[in-house]
Every structure is written in C-alpha cells, then in structure tokens.
Amino acid sequence: MRIISGSFKGRRFQLPNNLKARPTTDFAKESLFNILQNITEIEDCTALDLFAGTGSIGLEFISRGAKQVTCVEQYTPHVSFIRSVAEKLKVDNL
C-alpha cells in the first residue's frame, strides 16, 4: 500500500497476509481526490472512511491535510493494521 500525495507521499506499507481486503489502487485514489479537490477543500476537512479496509483512503486524507478522519472497519486484523500504520506515521487524528 502506498500514499500517493501530501506530507506522507511515497510512504509504503507492507500488508500482512491475513488481510482480506486489497488497498484501493493508486489510479482510483488519484481519481477520487481529483474530483474531491474540485468540489471542496481537503485541508482542514473532517472525513469519514466507511468500510475502511486497509485505511488507504483515510490515510490519504490525513496526508493531504485533513483535520480529522474516522475510519470505520469491523474486521479486527484490518483495524490492527490501520492502527499500526497510524502509529508508524505518528498520526493521532485518524
């Protein structure tokens, strides 16, 4: 998994084998954030990442300057992975 833009641009994280989800592709994330940047300010926004999976979208929001992101995920290994990445990045608003 890779963060494609913002303060954590280029950071890569190896996914554990026990994760059932695949991270959103770079192409899909770039398309999503191009659309969002045309309709709103991502910096200082608050975002909700439902069915977060690997947390890829939420982390991209944080990297691009979102004030707060809430990731909602039910599968415990995914939650653990998201928390571990947030700790590595020293992020407390995810």
Residues 30-49 have a mean pLDDT of 94
**Is the confidence at residue 66, as pLDDT, over 90?**
yes
**Is the confidence at residue 8, as pLDDT, over 90?**
yes
Residues 62-69 have a mean pLDDT of 96
Q: Which residues, 6+ apart, have CB-to-CB distance to 1 below 8 Å?
A: 12, 13, 14, 15, 23, 54, 56
Report the pLDDT value the prediction gives residue 20, as an integer from 0 to 100: 81
Asked whether 21 and 80 are in contact (CB, 8 A), the reply is no
Q: How confident is the model at residue 17 (pLDDT cuts 50, 70, 90)?
A: confident
Residues 23-51 have a mean pLDDT of 94
**Is the confidence at residue 22, as pLDDT, over 90?**
no
Asked whether 81 and 14 are in contact (CB, 8 A), the reply is no
